[in-house]
Structure 1
Amino acid sequence: MTSEREDFNLSGPLHLNNVDWKNEDHRRSVAACLVQGVYILERDRQDNRRGPQALAPLWWEFFHFRLHRELVDDVDQCIFGSIYEFKPPFDGNHLDGSPRYAIAFRGTLTKGDAFLRDLEMDVHIIRNGLHQTSRFETAIQAVRSTVATHGSSNIWLAGHSLGAAMAILAGKTMAKTGIFLEAFLFNPPFLNMPIERIKDKKVKQGIRIASSFIAAGLTVALKARQKRNIVNTSEDHLAALSAWFPSLFVHPGDHICSGYIGYFEHRKQMEAMGAGVVERLASQNPIGGLLMNAMGKDSGEPLHLLPSANLIVNSIPAQDFKQAHGIHQWWQPDLSLQSIAYNYK
């Protein structure tokens, strides 16, 4: 059964018939629609909608992109990502501010035959093991190939929820090699203690400060046997990622991504207190991961470890979690957005 939200003519940003590629609202809206295109592409596949019945193409063709390649999971053959090529309807291959290629990843589909595989990917995120999956291997190979062929200066990464996690991991992987891709990360998962649900600001601040000092202390204690300078290692690792400046789009009513709000605020407060080193150690080594390491299990790098970012918060109250977490909010024309740039130094 076709949902109204799958139909671009019913729920897409029809007002963007003339995109200004220097306008941040326009760029955000287009990136969100390209991610939606991946969702609908997989829904078209599941419902066997082809040719004129397919609903996905208008989500990218409206903005003069063409589908360059589908990214398919090798386990269940579901479509989890797409590579789009920008093809303006006039001479010239590139407009100032526009991407030449955009690589987009969808999030979890709660219905249909992709659900179980998507759920498996969600579990890997919780365990910091997404980098070990064949789906991510397909994704990062696609990113590397696109960059190697076309350069990195005008390639976008975009993703929503699970797809945002995929884009974060791909972006961080490339950043560690000195390649910094423009990224639009919608409702990216932040998996840590659900502190944002606490209403009292002083209580939240106290819990965060205590957690940071505990995590930093455990890090030093557990790794002292390695006889190396943990502080310098932490600084070097963050510095390697610091030049990557992704855009994170979050809603405070979405408990999956709202942790980023407190994460960056707390980091700023710890710097002001003169405890920035403590927080950087704690960020890289959350308590849960340290306990896994103590049991001899590799917890992997925390997905949310982002030294620099442009955090964009949608302050319009949501009716429910579904609305707060939905991709659809990000192409609405009258959003009330608050943007804060966090630049690691």
Structure 2
Amino acid sequence: MEELKVKTQDKPASTREIFCLSGPLHLTAVDWKNFHHRRSVAASLVQGVYILERDRQQNRQGPQAHAPPWWDFFNFQLIHLLVDDVDSSIFGAVYEFKPLAFKNKHSAQNAPNYVIAFRGTINKSDSRSRDLKLDLLCIRNRLHESSRFQLAMQAVESVIAVAGTSSIWLVGHSLGSAVSLLAGKNMTKMGYSVETYLFNPPFLSVPVERIKNEKLKHGIRITSSIVKAGLAVAVKGHHQRHQQANTFLLLSAWKPYLFVNPADHICSGYIGYFEHRKKMEEIGAGKIERIATQNSIGSLLSGSAQSDSGPLHLLPSAYLTINLSQSPDFKRAHGIHQWWDPSFDCRSELHEYR
């Protein structure tokens, strides 16, 4: 259906930016114990960051701003903006939950006190250049070197210092998922496990998922595992492999929520990544896979495996949710709106590293 356009200060706004036209209006009463409700709220708060930046670009202020309903509806308050130091774009936000807004305080149990949300790439002239540069850093596994990520980590550490980790959510979409994922990994290494929601997180590897022949796909994965395990043994000494294994085991206690769409080649690699680990255990090749899953061929060949950051997409454990609904095109498959669709159909599974 062709999107309507709403004029604001002579600037067109897509209906997808306006909460009352495309938001999860069905969530009039949030059950914070309900996984689907939590997913929908988390995605909406990420959308709030997208619209904050669009409001800034379009100079929409006060009553003309479209962003506030995306958090007001769920009784959150915006308490801090995260602004990129290079292009001055808004890339993140810190929200505080206001449970007193509820008549029944018990209905707010299990709600987060704070949510730190990060948007993905916005393909508009005011933000495109900076976002694409960060996308490239992400592909090269150098996102941790960017000033945007450093600002994000400062925000996460500041909120944790005030509130601890049991009442905080980290949420992000696409590039913002990469920021949340890396921040979550860092905090876990520091001894803090933060509840994390990652929508369409980039899987930075060869897109094997796009191969239709299942036998060929399985064969490629087995070969890749054997090559990675062999390279790791050849390139890394025993002490380094042992240290890496300990770090991976430490990270396994953190179980972020991953939301992926099979039609989105940016994130669909996580489906095969976790399914292949199960199959390798089933055929008795678990020892090989436990070494392989900690490494990527690119990092082993380039020597970047020496970096403490490690390949971003390699995760020991995760709650993986796959969207089983049909997506008409890549834009919909990668978009944030799918994650609060009331007709959402999915399959979820916990994958744990043992």
Say whether 1:40 aligns with 2:89.
Answer: no
Tell me by how many angstroms 1:111 deviates: 1.3
* 8 A contact 2:317–2:352 mirrored in 1: yes
Say whether 1:250 aligns with 2:257.
Answer: no
SS at match of 1:153: coil
Say whether 1:174 aligns with 2:183.
Answer: no
**Residue in structure 2 matched with residue 332 of structure 1 by the alignment:** 341
* 8 A contact 1:208–1:266 mirrored in 2: yes
Say whether 1:312 aligns with 2:321.
Answer: yes
Deviations 1:98-154 (A, max 9, x none): 000000000000113111100011001100001111100000110011001111111
The root-mean-square deviation of aligned C-alpha atoms, in Å, is: 1.7
Tell me by how many angstroms 1:336 deviates: 0.7
Whole-angstrom distance in 2 between the partners of 1:222 and 1:80: 38
**Residue in structure 2 matched with residue 53 of structure 1 by the alignment:** 64
Whole-angstrom distance in 2 between the partners of 1:270 and 1:131: 31
**Residue in structure 1 matched with residue 251 of structure 2 by the alignment:** 241
Whole-angstrom distance in 2 between the partners of 1:172 and 1:52: 39
Whole-angstrom distance in 2 between the partners of 1:319 and 1:40: 24
SS at match of 1:341: strand
SS at match of 1:15: coil
* 8 A contact 1:65–1:86 mirrored in 2: yes
Deviations 1:282-319 (A, max 9, x none): 2222111112118x985951111111100000001110
Say whether 1:30 aligns with 2:34.
Answer: no
Say whether 1:68 aligns with 2:79.
Answer: yes
Structure 2: where are the runs of 5+ without partners?
Answer: 1-11
**Residue in structure 1 matched with residue 290 of structure 2 by the alignment:** 280
Whole-angstrom distance in 1 between the partners of 2:167 and 2:106: 11
**Residue in structure 1 matched with residue 7 of structure 2 by the alignment:** none
SS at match of 1:2: strand
Matched to 2:292, the amino acid is A
Whole-angstrom distance in 1 between the partners of 2:184 and 2:107: 22
Matched to 1:278, the amino acid is I
SS at match of 1:30: helix
Matched to 1:285, the amino acid is N
Matches within 5 A, 1:131-210: 131-210=144-223
2:26 to 2, 12, 15: 15
Structure 1: where are the runs of 5+ without partners?
Answer: none
Q: Are the structure 2 counterparts of residues 155 and 55 from structure 1 closer, same or farther at C-alpha, using a change threshold of 3 Å?
A: same
**Residue in structure 1 matched with residue 119 of structure 2 by the alignment:** 106
Deviations 1:5-38 (A, max 9, x none): 0000100011111111111111100000000000
Whole-angstrom distance in 2 between the partners of 1:64 and 1:93: 14
Tell me by how many angstroms 1:270 deviates: 1.4
Structure 2 length-normalised TM:
0.93
SS at match of 2:13: coil
Structure 1 length-normalised TM:
0.95
Say whether 1:302 aligns with 2:311.
Answer: yes
Whole-angstrom distance in 2 between the partners of 1:128 and 1:16: 38
Whole-angstrom distance in 1 between the partners of 2:261 and 2:226: 28
Whole-angstrom distance in 1 between the partners of 2:353 and 2:293: 13
SS at match of 1:70: strand
Whole-angstrom distance in 2 between the partners of 1:161 and 1:170: 14
Whole-angstrom distance in 2 between the partners of 1:134 and 1:14: 36
Matched to 1:97, the amino acid is N
SS at match of 1:330: helix
SS at match of 2:169: strand
Say whether 1:292 aligns with 2:298.
Answer: no
Whole-angstrom distance in 2 between the partners of 1:23 and 1:203: 39
Deviations 1:79-98 (A, max 9, x none): 00000000131476992110
Number of positions where the alignment pairs a residue of Structure 1 with one of Structure 2: 341
* 8 A contact 1:124–1:130 mirrored in 2: yes
Which of 29-38 and 277-286 deviates more? 277-286
Which of 275-284 and 53-62 deviates more? 275-284
**Residue in structure 1 matched with residue 5 of structure 2 by the alignment:** none
Tell me by how many angstroms 1:239 deviates: 0.9
